[in-house]
Structure 1
């Protein structure tokens, strides 16, 4: 589903909601994750004033989850009632993800051999192709870099029709959010002290991230209740959320200590829950009133290609690092500010055209194929 325009449900099924704010959020989520990996993969030195990038911009992944649940509930609530509608939902979701993901999987066969001299085990290739790797402890991270979140997303798609049936209003969505936070906290406790593949499974499984999706669902119902109010409400919600996010960044250690003192080993889940609420508030605010400085043409364009940006960016970074680009840039300038900026610009100069082409020639045909199959099935 394109989250820019989604069809309304539950009493206003003929309505079309312009949700360009969700596209912009997808852009910023993808770019924030890109920045984290641009620093981490080639181990680039960064200016001290950018300390918050590696520390907090990984929250782009939870933002993706929140936007996904928000957009899907706006579009599918009240729609998945028959076997045909259930079939249409799963087919659309599969063909939204699979074409590009399968292309990337095949690309990784020569890529891994060329870069590291490694081969991909057949069992891991199959679990990724079947989108079941989130349920396999030794495969949960995926062999495609950063694909662990795709496993989480596909697992959420599997249960979404049940959630659409059960969660029919704001009150129920808040109950779901509370239950999801409780389950996540206990899931973390269950894996506390584990190491290796088991610890990774605990961190990357759907259960550890379910409350982000629940927050997005609650955000959808909050938006539905507020969307006919004054645009000023959207401005206020968005501004308050940005201030909260800034506070979480500036006082992260103090907040973590405070919540850790209150909740003990479950304190990490408490901090994540606060982040989920703050990010959801931003999504609700930008959906109520998409301010032009934030929801601009570039953000919407890259929001459409955000899935391509997400899957291609580690590949681009690794290749440019192997070619020695970052080493050459850092050796050519004094300090770290200018080299980091030059590295950022050079990487985006490769990544953005590649992602736009990937979206145009792989993602869009896949989405069109899903729509065509569904029209044939309904005929």
Structure 2
């Protein structure tokens, strides 16, 4: 195996790794019946695990902004962009749908598998369709894939119109207005709006806009003096913002959207001051396999339920059992995710990038006779080893 090149954006990979870890921590605590009863701070952290998904969305938008300039060298940039995103997301998603059809372990929630739900998932239109197995996906926690794919459809058009912090903030305002209108009218269109709204792209689009804002802030931050001091201040503000959000003390608006500034401070802060407890070889590596971790962890937790029951009735306290079972879960999830990443996900992603480059075509550089498609392929090879735009969310 050819050694992968150093990660060009370790703070982004680390954030993806931490987000994946947060989601696993939440599901270990919340999936069992009954749920774990933990002290206040770990209980709050576990119950807030959905924030890890929103962090994925913010980092995803940031990462996509990084990769867009290379599409300028293609004859069909939108085609190239969508093909790359398809081959980044679809192969592993499709493979696990196939496994879920064959084994109940990959369908711990008992989601309905029929030709309608499977077709909706294979075509990535399920985020727009209410109902179990549709918007929720037929894969455990797969609903986020529908959100991501819906965002990919419009991202190139948003990016073309947000070339500065000011324009990105305007896009955020538009997204917030659209989300407010959506929440006000959707009750007339679906039977269970309280279930449909939290997983809809229309409700979640502002989280992606915060990622675009963070991208342009980072461009400016590269010229700041006292970077480490500013980064330290931004990072120090994150726990305070988290406390305000989970305590219900946000001054106005939807509490979820206050996660955008919080994660924006985290992202920009780590860019300016990448502290070792958060940005290190372990978190960066975990970020590289985070998509696999995200998709395989649910079935593995479900398969471990008998062990969960035994350890919770073995005399251990709830916090002790939780910590032990979280460690066991990670010892199972990470090796499986590593196998799916290197054995399938990374291979199909690399093939897909080469295929996308051929389909998108390259503009001939005037005066050189060089087809820029070859340059695109060369650049895609440099992305191996955790280039941020090649992970989920």
Normalised to the residue count of structure 1, the TM-score between the two structures is 0.85
Relative to structure 1, is the Cα distance of residues 129 and 291 closer, same or farther in structure 2, using a 3 angstrom cutoff?
same
Q: Paired residue for 1:69?
A: 61
How far is the alpha carbon of 1:124 from its aligned partner? 0.6
Deviation digits for residues 235-284 of structure 1 (CA, Å, limit 9, x no counterpart): 5345434434434326633415x53xxxxxxx3x2x22221111112112
SS of the equivalent of 1:255 reads coil
Q: Paired residue for 1:309?
A: 293
Q: Paired residue for 2:20?
A: 30
Residues 22 and 46, structure 2, Cα contact 8 Å, conserved in 1? no
Relative to structure 1, is the Cα distance of residues 185 and 116 closer, same or farther in structure 2, using a 3 angstrom cutoff?
closer
Deviation digits for residues 313-332 of structure 1 (CA, Å, limit 9, x no counterpart): 111011111xx100111122
Q: Give, in whole Å, the separation in 2 of the partners of 1:357 and 1:59.
A: 27
Higher mean alpha-carbon deviation, 208-217 vs 367-376, is at 367-376
How far is the alpha carbon of 1:343 from its aligned partner? 0.7
Q: Give, in whole Å, the separation in 2 of the partners of 1:174 and 1:62.
A: 18
Q: Paired residue for 1:88?
A: 80
Residues 308 and 359, structure 1, Cα contact 8 Å, conserved in 2? yes
Q: Give, in whole Å, the separation in 1 of the partners of 2:215 and 2:111.
A: 44
Q: Paired residue for 1:159?
A: 154
Alignment of 1:1-379 (within 5 A): 18-43=8-33, 44-49=35-40, 50-77=42-69, 79-80=71-72, 83-112=75-104, 120-138=113-131, 139-191=134-186, 197-230=192-225, 232-237=226-231, 239-249=233-243, 252-256=246-250, 258-259=251-252, 267=253, 269=254, 271-321=255-305, 324-377=306-359, 378=361
Q: Give, in whole Å, the separation in 2 of the partners of 1:317 and 1:364.
A: 24
How far is the alpha carbon of 1:228 from its aligned partner? 3.1
Structure 2, unmatched stretches of 5+, are 362-372, 374-393
SS of the equivalent of 1:142 reads coil
Normalised to the residue count of structure 2, the TM-score between the two structures is 0.83
How far is the alpha carbon of 1:63 from its aligned partner? 0.3
Higher helix share: 1
Relative to structure 1, is the Cα distance of residues 329 and 244 closer, same or farther in structure 2, using a 3 angstrom cutoff?
same
How far is the alpha carbon of 1:92 from its aligned partner? 0.8
How far is the alpha carbon of 1:27 from its aligned partner? 0.5
How far is the alpha carbon of 1:188 from its aligned partner? 2.3
How far is the alpha carbon of 1:233 from its aligned partner? 2.5
Relative to structure 1, is the Cα distance of residues 61 and 183 closer, same or farther in structure 2, using a 3 angstrom cutoff?
same
Could you say which structure has the greater relative contact order, defined with CA pairs below 8 angstroms and 6 or more residues apart? 2
Structure 1, unmatched stretches of 5+, are 6-15, 260-266
Residues 19 and 56, structure 2, Cα contact 8 Å, conserved in 1? yes
Q: Give, in whole Å, the separation in 2 of the partners of 1:148 and 1:242.
A: 32
Higher mean alpha-carbon deviation, 59-68 vs 199-208, is at 199-208
Q: Give, in whole Å, the separation in 2 of the partners of 1:163 and 1:64.
A: 19
